[in-house]
Each structure stands twice: as structure tokens, then as C-alpha cells.
């Protein structure tokens, strides 16, 4: 059975709803080959919200969170503007292919525009099938630069 979702099914997450999305966030991390740790997931999300380091929107079916998008704040020294990084997007497997991911992306775009940000950036795996959705929603692939990452040796 296909369900109907719209913007009314989306909520901005505060510390009160962390319990709602922590299992989804934990599943998201497990998907990326990390160990399950629900308490660490809750702590991480609480810290991001408490320190005003991210904005999180979640999609709900009734009282159950079924997907989320997390945006991190950043700035451009070149354009002298603030922008957002779409760092995390996850939809519970049972609700995929029902436009939940699209609604979360559209909510992120709406928030970005309403708050006066320059735009949204994201990076994704080369083989991620969601690229088609990103492009459908107006995202443009950046062919002009490479992304590098330096990791602290521990």
C-alpha cells in the first residue's frame, strides 16, 4: 500500500524529538558500516541541536519518524555568504520509493531559501541512485573541483 506524504508530515526536530529520530540516525550510521550505538547517536544529535550546529527535519507517519535530513551551517569566504551542507539524508527502508526523501529534500531547499542562505551542498557516493532525484530537484553536479579529506592519525 502506497501512503501519501506532504509537508504536513514534516517537523523541525528539537531536543524533545531526539528519541524519535535516534533509531533512524543509528540505522543511517550502520548503513555506512559503523557500529550500532543508539546512546552515542542520541548524544551526537543532542549536541548538534543544543549547540545550534545543525537543523534537522523529520518525516512522520502518525507518531513515528520515518526519515530525516540534517543540515550543517557553513560559510563561503569567496561569496561572503552563508550556506548549508546537507550532511545526512535517510529514509526507513519500509518507506522508500514513496516520495519521503523528495519531501525532505524539498523541505531543506525551502528552509534554505526562506532563511536567506546562498544554497545547499552535498556529497554522495558515485553509485548512489539518489543522484537522479537530486538532479530532478535542481541540484547541479560540480565538475570543477575535487574534494579532499585529511584524517588525524590516532
Residue 41 included in any domain: yes
Q: Is residue 2 part of a domain?
A: no
Strands 81-91 and 10-12: unpaired
> What is the tens place of the pLDDT at every residue in 132-154?
999 999 999 988 888 888 899 99
Q: Residue 23 falls within a domain, yes or no? A: yes
Q: Please report, in angstroms and rounded to a whole number, the separation of the first and last CA atoms in the chain.
A: 48
- Domain presence at residue 82: yes
Cell numbers found for residue 78: 569567496
Residue 5's pLDDT band (cuts 50, 70, 90): low
pLDDT number for residue 147: 84
Domain containing residue 68: 8-137
**Is the confidence at residue 43, as pLDDT, over 60?**
yes
Quote the cell numbers at residue 109: 531547499
Q: Is the pLDDT of residue 87 over 70?
A: yes
CA dist 51 and 65 (Å) reads 23
CA 147 to CA 126: how far, in whole Å? 13
Integer Cα distance of 43 and 48 in angstroms: 9
Q: Is residue 119 part of a domain?
A: yes
Q: Could you tell me if residue 39 is inside a domain? A: yes
Number of domains in the chain: 1
Residue 21 contacts residue 56 (beta carbons within 8 Å): yes
Indicate if the pLDDT at residue 1 is higher than 50.
Answer: no
pTM for this one? 0.90
Directed axis angle between helix 38-50 and helix 18-31, to 10°? 120
d(CA 116, CA 135): 22
Q: Which range has the worst mean pLDDT, 2-11, 63-72, 89-98, 101-110? A: 2-11
CATH number of the domain encompassing residue 104:
3.40.630.30
Q: Do the domain assignments include residue 50? A: yes
Domain annotation covers residue 85: yes
Amino acid at each position: 500500500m502506497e501512503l501519501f506524504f506532504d509537508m504536513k508530515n514534516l517537523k523541525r526536530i528539537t531536543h524533545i524529538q531526539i528519541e524519535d529520530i535516534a533509531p533512524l540516525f543509528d540505522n543511517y550510521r550502520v548503513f555506512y558500516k559503523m557500529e550500532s550505538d543508539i546512546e552515542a547517536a542520541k548524544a551526537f544529535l543532542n549536541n548538534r541541536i543544543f549547540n545550534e550546529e545543525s537543523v534537522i527535519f523529520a518525516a512522520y507517519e502518525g507518531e513515528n519518524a520515518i526519515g530525516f535530513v540534517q543540515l550543517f551551517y557553513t560559510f563561503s569566504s569567496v561569496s561572503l555568504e552563508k550556506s548549508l551542507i546537507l550532511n545526512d539524508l535517510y529514509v526507513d527502508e519500509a518507506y522508500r520509493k514513496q516520495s519521503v526523501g523528495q519531501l525532505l529534500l524539498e523541505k531543506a531547499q525551502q528552509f534554505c531559501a526562506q532563511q536567506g542562505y546562498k544554497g545547499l551542498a552535498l556529497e554522495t557516493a558515485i553509485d548512489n541512485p539518489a543522484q537522479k532525484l537530486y538532479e530532478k530537484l535542481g541540484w547541479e553536479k560540480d565538475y570543477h573541483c575535487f574534494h579532499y579529506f585529511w584524517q588525524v592519525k590516532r
